[in-house]
């Protein structure tokens, strides 16, 4: 058990390490394609991490786009009101969705399986309706345009390179927050995922840890929403469409839902391949779907998860092949 936990921690750390080079991208290249890939990867990883937190407890939550919208619109309204400090905007984008998640969690976290999935998906649809029907607050179908870029200690962060840098920094903060939550409550989350009834009988407060995970997932989603709005200078309903959750879930399962390294690998791979396939017009959707089918058939545990299993199996076989030496009597 200790060795598995140590291995999982190392995989999570490697996930963080793989994201660090993104910080340098806007300063070493002016390629629009590479810069676009960088901010897409940063936002995609942040959103997929919100899915990952709930998967650690065996729950597939569809609320990520909705909480991204809450965080994105909340930060956009604050910025339009004149508060553009980066730290305040990030804090606001995290806290507001987290507060929304508390009463919502009290309702939906009692559900399991397909019922939980359906209700969390419906929350996205309801929020989309609220956004469209409240134009005085959210701008309705037009959204909130002209959102000023974030500033830090009075310095404007609105240049293209700095916008991408802010997006990457937000992603790293979301990553460290996810690492802190999933490592701190790893034992409790794992026990709930493996056998919720047994965990509850052993004294694990399932509702408590589910709520912690749900609130943390909402906050991480809000950070992703802020990063997207700050990058585009617009908070628009189309940026938080319900179908986008399919992409974030695919990132988690293709890379491997068992570690943060899997989330990063899956997100970067699928985002890069999506951009490559986009050059094939009508064939892009079919090519992307074929990629998902092939990966899930070849590596049902995700790319990272399958590689880890192969290494573990090889080590186990190597140990079993070592025969003990029996010393004869003199």
Give the CATH number of the domain where residue 312 resides.
1.10.3470
152 in Cβ contact with 85 (< 8 Å): yes
Q: Does the residue 325 lie in any domain? A: no
Count of other CB atoms within 10 angstroms of residue 5: 13
Examine residue 329 and state whether it is found in any structural domain, yes or no. Answer: no
Percent of the chain residues topping a pLDDT of 70: 95
Q: How confident is the model at residue 3 (pLDDT cuts 50, 70, 90)?
A: low
Answer for the pair 126, 247: CB distance below 8 angstroms, yes or no: no
Maximal C-alpha separation, the chain: 95
What residues does 50 pair with on adjacent strands? none
pLDDT of the residue at 330: 44
Residues sharing a CB contact under 8 Å with residue 285, sequence separation 6 or more, in sequence order: none
Would 220 be classed as within a structural domain?
Answer: yes
328, part of any domain: no
Q: Number of structural domains, the chain? A: 1
How far apart are alpha carbons 213 and 34 in whole angstroms? 33
> Token match 């998902």: residue?
292
- pLDDT at res. 5: 76
Residue burial 163-183, b: 16+ Cβ < 10 Å; e: rest: bbbbbbbbbbbbbebbbebbb
Q: Which pLDDT score, from 0 to 100, does residue 284 have?
A: 72
Using one digit for the tens of pLDDT, what is the confidence trace for 38-89?
999 999 999 999 999 999 999 999 999 999 999 999 999 999 999 999 999 9
Where residue 266 falls among pLDDT bands split at 50, 70, 90? Answer: very high
Residue 326 within any structural domain of the chain: no
User: Which pTM value belongs to this model?
Assistant: 0.92
250 CB-near residues (< 8 Å, 6+ apart): 266, 270, 292
Question: What is residue 319's predicted lDDT score, i.e. its pLDDT?
Answer: 73
Instruction: Give per-residue pLDDT as tens, 193-206.
Output: 988 888 888 888 99
Q: What pLDDT does 208 receive?
A: 93
pLDDT level of residue 257 (50, 70, 90 thresholds): confident
Q: What is the pLDDT of residues 93-123, one digit of tens each?
A: 999 999 999 999 999 998 888 899 999 999 9
- 110 belongs to a structural domain: yes
Structural domain harbouring 100:
2-319
Coil, helix or strand at residue 178: helix
Q: Tell me, what's the pLDDT at 289?
A: 79
**Bridge partners, residue 234, by sequence:** 145
Asked if the model's pLDDT at residue 127 lies above 90, the reply is yes
Residue 2, pLDDT score: 64
223, pLDDT greater than 90: yes
Distance CA 51, CA 118 (A): 15
Return d(Cα 269, Cα 188) in angstroms, integer: 30
């Amino acid at each position: 058990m200790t060795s598995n936990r140590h291995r999982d921690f190392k995989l999570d750390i490697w996930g963080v390490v793989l994201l660090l080079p993104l910080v340098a991208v806007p300063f070493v290249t002016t390629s629009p394609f590479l810069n676009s890939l960088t901010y897409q990867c940063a936002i995609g990883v942040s959103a997929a991490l919100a899915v990952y937190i709930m998967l650690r407890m065996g729950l597939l939550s569809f609320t990520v786009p909705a909480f991204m919208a809450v965080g994105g619109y909340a930060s956009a309204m604050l910025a339009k009101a004149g508060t553009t400090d980066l730290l305040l905007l990030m804090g606001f984008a995290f806290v507001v969705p987290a507060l929304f998640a508390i009463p919502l969690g009290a309702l939906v976290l009692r559900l399991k399986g397909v019922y939980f999935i359906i209700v969390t998906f419906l929350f996205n649809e309801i929020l989309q309706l609220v956004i469209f029907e409240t134009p005085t607050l959210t701008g309705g179908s037009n959204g909130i345009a002209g959102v000023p870029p974030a500033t830090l200690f009075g310095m404007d962060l609105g240049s293209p390179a700095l916008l991408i840098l802010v997006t990457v920094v937000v992603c790293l903060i979301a990553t460290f927050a996810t690492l802190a939550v999933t490592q701190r409550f790893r034992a409790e989350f794992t026990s709930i995922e493996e056998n919720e009834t047994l965990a509850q009988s052993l004294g694990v407060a399932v509702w408590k840890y589910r709520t912690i995970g749900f609130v943390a997932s909402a906050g991480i989603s809000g950070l992703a929403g802020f990063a997207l709005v700050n990058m585009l200078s617009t908070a628009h309903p189309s940026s938080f469409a319900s179908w986008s959750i399919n992409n974030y879930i695919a990132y988690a399962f293709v890379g491997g839902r068992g570690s943060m390294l899997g989330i990063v690998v899956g997100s970067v791979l699928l985002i890069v391949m999506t951009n490559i396939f986009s050059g094939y017009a009508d064939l892009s959707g079919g090519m992307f779907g074929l990629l998902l089918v092939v990966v899930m058939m070849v590596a049902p545990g995700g790319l990272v998860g399958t590689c880890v299993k192969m290494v573990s199996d090889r080590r186990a076989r190597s140990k079993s092949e070592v025969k003990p030496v029996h010393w004869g009597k003199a």
